[in-house]
Amino acid sequence: MDSEDGISAPSTPVTPGTPGAPLFGKFMPEKSSNRIKSSLLKSCNCFSVESLSLEEGTLPPVTCALSPPPVSLARKVGAELIGTLILIFAGTATAIVNQKTNGSETLLGLSAATGVAVMVVIFSTGHISGAHLNPSVTIAFAALRHFPWKHVPVYIGAQVIASIFASFLVKVIFQPIMGGGVTVPEGGLAQAFALEFIITFNLMFVVTAVATDTRAVGELAGIAVGATVMLNILIAGNNTPFSGSEPPVKVRLNDPVIPRPIGSRQTTGASMNPVRTLGPAIATNNYKAIWVYLTAPILGALAGAGVYSAVKLPDKEDKGHERPLAEHSFRR
């Protein structure tokens, strides 16, 4: 890998939270005897300065940008691996604990645990790697030119490795592993595919808004994305203590099959993430309907990112000419 692949810096204009960039824009000027220079530095906001008031008059609006220090690809991949490991461990461990306690954590608790895990990982690693945590997000960003295609295989590789490691770590710690936090559909495959597509669409629509649109409040990206994950789990999550692979239970030979606790409700486990399903499936050797979880989230993410890009307000800088898009993170 050449040095160009090893170190990459986001293109201008720099926005708060861009990998390697400062999270706060203001800076302290050096002492100077020149009153005009000192006044200009004190008023400069690093990202946009509306006007500078001087004794001699008012200067036109000024924009200044500081080049952020480059973040190496190795650091980005390392942060992505650790962040994905935290997310998969939290999601699968919470599901197993819920099974062992006969659903005492409730669906609300499961959704809150995963949503909080997403939020803290975005706040802690978003400024380094972008905190994709999900191959669907990585592919969607690359498709819209917000992320270089040459880095996609490395990111997805880190996400898959982190998922498998976290799943086997959960398997060692929580014995018996029971369902293992595996996401499996309850109901028809077509309905499961549609549900995973829709909830991933919701997720990626919000992610694209807070990560790529400079008018969105990027500093609150972790809260927005975490809340969306919680909402999606409340829609498609499963609080039943069954793993989804056990056969239906019968009381007596001639009795009708007793439905599962939430059998009348179509659920998929609310994966939204191919590696959220792949790692636990490998650890438990349960590959039921895995193709749904490897395809629907990717297609849903592409659709969600594309729709937001189509409806968002156009950038003033884009009028009259096309400029390359910057590499974005969840915290911009």
Rounded mean pLDDT of 149-157? Answer: 95
* Residue 281 pLDDT level (bands cut at 50, 70, 90): very high
DSSP letters, 166-183, are HHHHHHHHSSS-TTTT--
Does 218 reside within a domain? yes
Distances in Å between the Cα of 12 and the Cα atoms of 47, 264, 316 are 11, 52, 15
DSSP letters, 33-53, are S-HHHHHHHHH--SS-B--EE
Does 133 reside within a domain? yes
Distance in angstroms (rounded) separating the CA atoms of residues 204 and 2: 32
Rounded mean pLDDT of 257-280? Answer: 74
The domain tally of the chain equals: 1
DSSP bridge partners of 53: 58
Q: Which helix (H) or strand (E) holds 221?
A: helix 221-236
Spell out a b/e string for 43-72, using b for 16 or more CB atoms within 10 Å of the CB, else e: bbebbebeebeeeeeeeeeeeeeeebeebe
Per-residue confidence (pLDDT) for residue 43, from 0 to 100: 43
DSSP 8-state code for residue 273: S
Per-residue confidence (pLDDT) for residue 3, from 0 to 100: 44
List the domain range (segments joined by +) for residue 258: 72-317
Per residue in 296-314, pLDDT (tens digit) is 999 999 999 999 999 987 7
Does 125 reside within a domain? yes
pLDDT at residue 276 greater than cutoff 70 = yes
Does 1 reside within a domain? no
Instruction: Record the pTM.
Output: 0.71
Per-residue confidence (pLDDT) for residue 132, from 0 to 100: 93
Per-residue confidence (pLDDT) for residue 322, from 0 to 100: 45
Which pair of structure tokens corresponds to residue 63? 């924009």
* Residue 180 pLDDT level (bands cut at 50, 70, 90): confident
Residue 257 Rama label (left phi>0; alpha psi -120 to 50; beta): beta
Does 229 reside within a domain? yes
Per residue in 49-66, pLDDT (tens digit) is 454 455 555 555 555 555
Question: Mean pLDDT score of the chain, rounded to an integer?
Answer: 76
Does 27 reside within a domain? no
Choice between 238 and 316, residue whose per-residue pLDDT is larger: 238
CATH number at residue 223: 1.20.1080.10
Does 25 reside within a domain? no
* Distance linking the first and last C-alpha atoms of the chain: 27
Does 287 reside within a domain? yes
* Residue 246 pLDDT level (bands cut at 50, 70, 90): very low
Lowest mean pLDDT among 24-28, 74-78, 124-128, 272-276: 24-28
Which pair of structure tokens corresponds to residue 261? 């606790």
